[in-house]
């Protein structure tokens, strides 16, 4: 079982393979590809064994490693957004979601905290059309799909579980697909703000920072749920653990092989080391999550990339220029 905190299936795969010294994982299929400068990794967890190994629900997880830039040109945003849209569309095609059906887009997170504001910012850029289809159907093209969206806030603001709010909306308006956007946690700093994950297994808001809330999935809502997320934070204890590992590797390389110091370094128990780090740091920093200083600019750019991808996937009959006319 994986103890290091991560929301990313690709990292869970890497950790399991490293800890168990094996390439292929039983019940898990990994496929790599690329488009332009975007690396795409597809992780399929096929059975219970794969689920237990990675501690992730069975399903498909697609990860896009995108160029890490704080200031994308609009051309770059559109290009990466279109690649994301193609991957979203591929997952949608495996459901019974037709072009005339309604999609509900949910921006999870706290809009008052920048690293957690990705979901609400994406919602502000989604092409919302359900009301137009209902009230002025003759004024819009027939090929436009009805889409509605909401940023329900967090428990501390609303006093209601996000899952409860979404379930109430689903029961009322009867959408055929839910797409959730949320900020995630990574175990590697290099993946923060430069990785987008799409999954068809739903999401548990807050799970990446140890604050797991009510699950939002097909099991709880009765309709397909896609989850799109970007890691915006990393656990401080994980960073400390990785730093110490690098120091140990350097010291081991410099030590004389077979010496007492060399043997002592090689015999360090990694699980005990990780436990010790948490015990030492907890009284001083608690459950501290770290984010880069340029997070505000990056979240703004990533919200544009993700909203572009969702708009392209949900409105395949329209060109991107036409979509932009519907967005305030």
Tens-digit pLDDT profile for residues 31-57: 999 999 999 999 999 999 999 999 899
pLDDT for the residue 276:
76
- Over residues 122-130, mean pLDDT: 95
pLDDT for the residue 108:
95
CB 162 within 8 A of CB 204: no
- Tell me the C-alpha to C-alpha distance, in Å, between residue 288 and each of 4, 195, 236, 242, 326: 14, 21, 6, 15, 40
pLDDT for the residue 210:
53
3-class secondary-structure state, position 183: strand
Tens-digit pLDDT profile for residues 261-291: 767 767 777 667 777 777 777 776 667 788 8
How is domain 36-45+57-234+293-324 classified at the CATH fold level?
Rossmann fold (3.40.50)
What is the band of 212 on the pLDDT scale with cuts at 50, 70, 90? low
- Tell me the C-alpha to C-alpha distance, in Å, between residue 51 and each of 25, 54, 77: 11, 6, 34
Adjacent-strand bridge partners of 63: 41, 197
3-class secondary-structure state, position 245: helix
Listed residue (246, 272, 294) closest to 115, CA to CA = 294
Q: Is the dihedral of CA 178, 180, 186, 189 positive or negative?
A: positive
Adjacent-strand bridge partners of 88: none
Listed residue (174, 168, 254, 253) closest to 214, CA to CA = 168
| pTM: predicted TM-score of the whole model, two decimal places | 0.85
- Over residues 195-206, mean pLDDT: 88
Choose from 139-153, 199-213, 215-229 the range with maximum mean pLDDT: 215-229
The region that residue 26 occupies, defined by phi over 0 for left and psi between -120 and 50 for alpha, beta otherwise, is: beta
pLDDT for the residue 172:
96
pLDDT for the residue 246:
80
In the predicted structure, residue 134 carries a pLDDT above the cut 50: yes
What is the band of 4 on the pLDDT scale with cuts at 50, 70, 90? low
Quickly tell me which residue has 């989604």 as its tokens: 126
DSSP annotation of 5 reads: -
The larger pLDDT score, comparing residue 43 to residue 212, is at: 43
pLDDT for the residue 29:
95
- Encode 11-50 in three state secondary structure: HHHHHHHHHHCCCCECCEEEEEEEECCEEEEEEEECCHHH
Q: Which two tokens stand for residue 120?
A: 């609400």
pLDDT for the residue 206:
55
- Residue 137 sits at φ, ψ, to 5 deg, of -60, -25
- Over residues 159-172, mean pLDDT: 94
- Over residues 228-234, mean pLDDT: 93
Residue ranges per domain, the chain? 36-45+57-234+293-324, 238-285
């Amino acid at each position: 079982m994986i103890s290091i905190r991560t929301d990313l299936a690709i990292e869970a795969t890497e950790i399991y393979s490293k800890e168990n010294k094996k390439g292929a994982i039983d019940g898990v299929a990994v496929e790599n590809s690329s488009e332009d400068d975007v690396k795409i990794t597809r992780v399929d967890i096929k059975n219970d064994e794969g689920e237990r190994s990675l501690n992730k629900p069975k399903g498909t997880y697609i990860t896009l490693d995108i160029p890490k830039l704080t200031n994308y040109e609009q051309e770059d945003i559109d290009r990466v957004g279109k690649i994301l849209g193609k991957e979203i569309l591929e997952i949608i095609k495996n459901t019974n979601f037709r072009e005339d059906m309604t999609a509900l887009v949910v921006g999870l997170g706290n809009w008052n905290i920048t690293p957690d504001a990705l979901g609400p910012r994406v919602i502000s850029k989604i092409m919302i059309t359900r009301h137009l289809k209902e009230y002025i159907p003759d004024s819009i093209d027939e090929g436009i799909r009805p889409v509605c969206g909401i940023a329900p806030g967090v428990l501390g603001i609303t006093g209601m579980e996000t899952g409860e709010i979404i379930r109430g909306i689903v029961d009322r308006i009867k959408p055929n697909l839910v797409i959730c956007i949320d900020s995630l946690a990574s175990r590697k700093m290099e993946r923060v703000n430069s990785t987008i994950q799409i999954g068809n297994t739903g999401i548990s808001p807050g799970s990446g920072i140890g604050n797991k809330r009510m699950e939002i999935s097909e099991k709880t809502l009765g309709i397909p749920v896609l989850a799109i997320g970007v890691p915006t934070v990393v656990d401080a204890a994980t960073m400390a653990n990785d730093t110490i590992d690098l120091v140990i590797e350097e010291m081991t390389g410099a030590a004389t092989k077979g010496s007492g110091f060399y043997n002592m370094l090689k015999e360090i128990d990694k699980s005990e080391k990780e436990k010790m780090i948490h015990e030492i740091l907890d009284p001083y920093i608690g459950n501290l999550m770290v984010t880069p200083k340029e997070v505000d600019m990056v979240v703004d750019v990533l919200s544009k990339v993700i909203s572009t991808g969702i708009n392209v996937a949900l409105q395949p009959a329209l060109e991107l220029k036409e979509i932009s006319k519907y967005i305030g």
